[in-house]
Amino acid sequence: MTRRFDVLVIGGGNAALCAAISARRAGASVLVLEGAPKFYRGGNTRHTRNMRCAHDAATEILTGPYTEEEFWKDLLLVTGGQTDEELARFMIHESKDILNWIVEQGVRWQPSLGGTLSLGRTNSFFLGGGRAMLNALYRTAEQLGVDILYNAEVTDLRIEDGMFLSAQLKQPVNGKTEVRASTLVAAAGGFEANIEWLKEHWGEAADNFLIRGTPYNRGSILKMLLARGVQEIGDPTQCHAVAIDARAPKFDGGIITRHDSVVFGIVVNKHAQRFYDEGEDIWPKRYAIWGRLVAAQPEQIAYIIFDSTVVTSFMPTLFPPIAGQTVAELAGKLELDPAALEKTITEFNAAVQPGTFDHTILDDCRTEGITPPKTHWARKIETPPYLAYPVRPGITFTYLGTRVNKQARMLMKGGKPSANMFAAGEIMAGNVLGKGYAAGIGMTIGSVFGRVAGREAAKNARN
Amino acid sequence: MHGTRILQEADRLMTVCNSCRYCEGLCAVFPAMEMRRAFSDGDLNYLANLCHACGACYTDCQFSPPHEFNVNVPKTLAIARAESYAAYAWPRALAGAFARNGLVISLIAALSVATFIFGFAAANDPGVLYGIHTGPGAFYQLMPHNAMALLFGLAFLYAILALAMGVRAFWRDIGEPVGMTTDRKALLQAIRDAGELRYLDGGGVGCFNEDDRPTDRRKLYHHFTFYGFALCFAATCVGTLYHYLLAREAPYAWWDLPVVLGTLGGLGLVVGPIGLLSQKWKRDRVLVDEQRMGMDTAFIMMLLLTSITGLALLLWRETGAMGPLLALHLGVVFALFITMPYGKFVHGIYRFVALVRYARERRMMEHS
């Protein structure tokens, strides 16, 4: 790259493209380096589906108001207070305008289809999903004259005293491997696809994790920034993990490998033993804890076991349930000890109390006298064929990131703001999300801080 | 297990899509899919015929090739659609016409034209064929009107019968949905959806053709083609009524209704097919049932030939070229009629039935 760009964006997802577009609209010359090939561009944005934005009134895509205050309370709830309040409230306020701004960048929200689609009140859905949203952002960026390179893996960053000077590319472009720019926006995601790095915090168990999103989020940019004096934020052992089908691919299985049938049966480990209250809480909290629970079991594997009476109670699944006419036959197929599984199910059935089943509320169907209990939605598993889904922890994203301020400007160790480095998206999500997750917040972080980072970087470059 | 390999693949894809549902806002296929948990052969054929091949779901899919899930809905449903046309063909013996459709249609068209030219020449002396005929009844110097009406009436009736039998087979295959034939609102909804090609727009973004940008113009060209065809058909009907009810014989003056309708329709039927062919030429092969490109091309060419020969006849009807041009035009139209049930024309019929079913299912859902 012979020319020097005003803004260099590393990454190619929602945050990166929002940054590139807003910097370009502010008059800067912009280069985007996406490490993945074109099909896989966009990191985990490819697998997303919606965004959580505050709004004061119902629209044709949202069923009712979702005030800044309510958004803040929800965020407080899921993070248990592990969030930077000033930054979070700033993001929530900015999210209001993002609803319209993102449409101006060509992204389309899904309107109601007159009864077929249930729209959300808090979250707006992308028409066609995350990849459609990305395609729109890329088209807009290209039309505005943003330069974009694919397969552009960055191997090194030259940073001196908190000031970005240049990036080194693995493959030369126009004969050069060094890219210089006045400012940097790092929007290259977390490190959830880097099994070695996960092992540092999880040990050998990480070998049995499945990575739900892109195989390209290896955290190399994050690692370089932290090694060159940027202040870190977030817990390196924290990641968003859910229980997904054990038959899913190692990487990039996306949304469709998830299971939400826990509530309709029991969950056993490889010794055919139950290990946690399957009826503890309502979706989505339930959804968010089972990844970690399975990660703590031997060989990181578990089996959701249910019977044929509930098969239509949850969304159709990618992989069919494994079936047996008897518990013993099912155990054989799952390679579990048949006697142990029969004993677990018999004891569970004996403990089920009469009640009125309603999976939308914390109902009164519970067990008595077994440990762990199933405190809601407990019904006997007795109608063959007996069915099971094998599940493993599916990692969605990691929380470790770079500290930023309200300009999306990185802060160096010691608190000094960087001269010309900004961060947006998953690489700085830990500022807002210390732990926990609520649907669509990742995209809010990406769009809001991406837009801010691009704007500020453009301003910075021209000064 | 399914009857064919392509239905097996369609089932695999619908299973993937039904566990994702990101595309539910793009068209009718995905909401229809969501109403089911398992897919019979008939269900898959219904979904295949509901698909308008807008390409949006392929471009938007996080699992399309090179992803290992290898999700390519437009191509899979296109192949399933084409195979369903052959499966429903009546009589069964002619199902094979779909296999090398381009060749079959071209041969029939050429034969038909040759027969008319040869027939005119044999029935009249050469002076009549190359003579100049004007005034009412000029065309019938070459072929008596009643003979023309009888021949084309029979060809048309045969096409209607064969198409109706095809629809009957489709109807049985999709399980003869209860109440669909008597639901007037669903019927009107489907007429609207088909008339405006509601689902050929990628959910509002536009369609995809040569790349991942929604720049496709097929909707516009299809409107030119469809409404051009409809106007030409109306011109023929009005002409027939003029003849039998008002005893007014063709050729008609340039300002008269049959000529006005026919000319406007003919122009639409030139612009539309040329546009559709050019789009087809550019289309990304990843979306296309390549084995059956010939079927689409043959039908579009037949429509184009119909309009070009008709317009030529209008332009040169007062010259010595009228005789050969009339033979050419009648030959093409005759071939168009008799090949209608055995080519791409049927896509509109089955798609319309699928749209009626979808409208009906939607209404049932909203009332449940």
Query: Distance between CA atoms of A438 and A445, rounded to whole angstroms?
Result: 12
Residue type at position A231: Q
Q: Find which of B14, B17, B21, B22 to mutate to test the A interface (most A CBs within 10 Å of its CB).
A: B22
Segment among A364-368, B248-252, B345-349 with least mean pLDDT: B248-252
Residue of A nearest to B70 (CA): A253
* Phi–psi pair at A342, nearest 5 degrees: -60, -40
Once rounded to an integer, what is the mean pLDDT over residues A12-31? 98
- pLDDT given for residue A240 in this prediction: 86
A135 and B212 within 8 Å at the Cβ level: the answer is yes
Residue of A nearest to B203 (CA): A127
Is residue A306 within 8 Å of residue B4, measured between CB atoms?
no
Segment among A18-22, A111-115, A219-223, B118-122 with least mean pLDDT: A111-115
Distances (CA, A) of B353 to A327, B41, B78, B160: 46, 16, 17, 15
Q: A295-316: per-residue pLDDT in tens?
A: 999 999 999 999 999 999 899 9
- pLDDT given for residue B128 in this prediction: 82
Query: Distance between CA atoms of B32 and B77, rounded to whole angstroms?
Result: 14
Give Cβ neighbours of residue A348 (< 8 Å, ≥ 6 apart): A266, A274, A367, A370, A374, A378, A380, A381
Segment among A178-187, A399-408, B177-186, B219-228 with least mean pLDDT: B177-186
Instruction: Sort strands A232-233 and A386-398 into parallel, antiparallel or unpaired.
Output: unpaired
Percent pLDDT > 90 in chain B is 85
* Phi–psi pair at A179, nearest 5 degrees: -115, 120
Once rounded to an integer, what is the mean pLDDT over residues A254-275? 95
Quick check: A119 pLDDT over 80? no
The Cβ of residue B267 has, within 10 Å, a number of other Cβ atoms equal to 15
Is residue B72 within 8 Å of residue B56, measured between CB atoms?
no
Query: Distance between CA atoms of B20 and B16, rounded to whole angstroms?
Result: 7
Q: Which residues of A touch B57 (CB under 8 A)?
A: 128
Q: Mind giving me the DSSP string for B152-190?
A: HHHHHHHHHHHHHHHHHHHHHHTT--TTGGG-HHHHHHH
Once rounded to an integer, what is the mean pLDDT over residues A405-428? 98
Q: How many beta-carbon pairs below 8 A join chains A and B? A: 93
Once rounded to an integer, what is the mean pLDDT over residues B159-174? 97
**Does residue B251 have a cis bond before it (omega within 30 degrees)?**
yes
Is residue B241 within 8 Å of residue B299, measured between CB atoms?
no
B365 and A116 within 8 Å at the Cβ level: the answer is yes
Query: Distance between CA atoms of A93 and A208, rounded to whole angstroms?
Result: 40
Residue type at position B109: A
CA distance, residue A98 to nearest chain B CA (Å): 20
Distances (CA, A) of B249 to A52, A429, B27, B139, B325: 70, 80, 47, 9, 19
- pLDDT given for residue B35 in this prediction: 94
Say which residue, A264 or B127, is predicted with more confidence.
A264
Query: Distance between CA atoms of A411 and A422, rounded to whole angstroms?
Result: 9
Query: Distance between CA atoms of B360 and B188, rounded to whole angstroms?
Result: 10
CA distance, residue A121 to nearest chain B CA (Å): 17
B205 and A128 within 8 Å at the Cβ level: the answer is yes
Per-residue confidence band for A124, with pLDDT thresholds at 50, 70 and 90 = very high
Query: Distance between CA atoms of B110 and B159, rounded to whole angstroms?
Result: 19
Residue A252, Ramachandran bin (φ over 0: left; ψ between -120 and 50: alpha; else beta): left
- pLDDT given for residue A116 in this prediction: 44
- pLDDT given for residue A112 in this prediction: 65
Query: Distance between CA atoms of A118 and A292, rounded to whole angstroms?
Result: 30
User: Residue A284 is encoded by which pair of tokens?
Assistant: 């989505």
Q: Mind giving me the DSSP string for B258-271?
A: HHHHHHHHHHHHHH
Once rounded to an integer, what is the mean pLDDT over residues A10-35? 98
- pLDDT given for residue A284 in this prediction: 65
Task: Tell which B residues from 24 to 63 touch A, by Cβ distance under 8 Å.
Answer: 24-26, 31, 34, 37, 56-57, 59-63
Residue A143, Ramachandran bin (φ over 0: left; ψ between -120 and 50: alpha; else beta): alpha
Average per-residue pLDDT for chain B: 94
Instruction: Establish if B212 touches chain A: CB-CB under 8 angstroms.
Output: yes
Segment among A280-284, B45-49, B180-184 with least mean pLDDT: A280-284
Percent pLDDT > 70 in chain A is 97
Residue of B nearest to A313 (CA): B37
**Does residue B66 have a cis bond before it (omega within 30 degrees)?**
yes
- Counted residue by residue, chain A has a size of 463
The Cβ of residue A261 has, within 10 Å, a number of other Cβ atoms equal to 24
Say which residue, A353 or A286, is predicted with more confidence.
A353
Can you say whether the dihedral through the CA atoms of A347, A353, A358, A364 is positive or negative?
negative
Once rounded to an integer, what is the mean pLDDT over residues B335-352? 96
Give Cβ neighbours of residue A231 (< 8 Å, ≥ 6 apart): A402, A403, A410, A411, A412, A413, A414, A415
B22 and A255 within 8 Å at the Cβ level: the answer is yes
Q: B99-149: per-residue pLDDT in tens?
A: 899 999 999 999 999 899 888 888 888 788 888 888 888 888 888 989 999
- Counted residue by residue, chain B has a size of 368
Q: Find which of A39, A107, A135 to mutate to test the B interface (most B CBs within 10 Å of its CB).
A: A135
- pLDDT given for residue A138 in this prediction: 98
Is residue A180 within 8 Å of residue A165, measured between CB atoms?
yes
Q: Find which of B62, B201, B364 to mutate to test the A interface (most A CBs within 10 Å of its CB).
A: B62
Per-residue confidence band for B367, with pLDDT thresholds at 50, 70 and 90 = confident
Say which residue, A203 or B122, is predicted with more confidence.
A203
User: Residue A158 is encoded by which pair of tokens?
Assistant: 């030259």
H/E/C letters for each residue in A197-216?
Answer: HHHHHHHHHHHHCEECCCCC
Residue of B nearest to A214 (CA): B62
pTM: 0.95
Element (H, E) at A442: helix A441-462
Element (H, E) at A322: strand A322-324
Instruction: Sort strands A30-33 and A401-402 into parallel, antiparallel or unpaired.
Output: unpaired
Give Cβ neighbours of residue A352 (< 8 Å, ≥ 6 apart): A365, A366, A367, A374, A378, A379, A380
User: Residue A68 is encoded by which pair of tokens?
Assistant: 């800044």
Helix, coil or strand: residue B133: coil
Task: Tell which B residues from 61 to 120 touch A, by Cβ distance under 8 Å.
Answer: 61-64, 66-68
Q: Find which of A256, A310, A314 to mutate to test the B interface (most B CBs within 10 Å of its CB).
A: A256
- pLDDT given for residue A115 in this prediction: 44
Query: Distance between CA atoms of B218 and B282, rounded to whole angstroms?
Result: 11
Query: Distance between CA atoms of A149 and B238, rounded to whole angstroms?
Result: 61
- pLDDT given for residue A118 in this prediction: 60
- pLDDT given for residue B122 in this prediction: 83
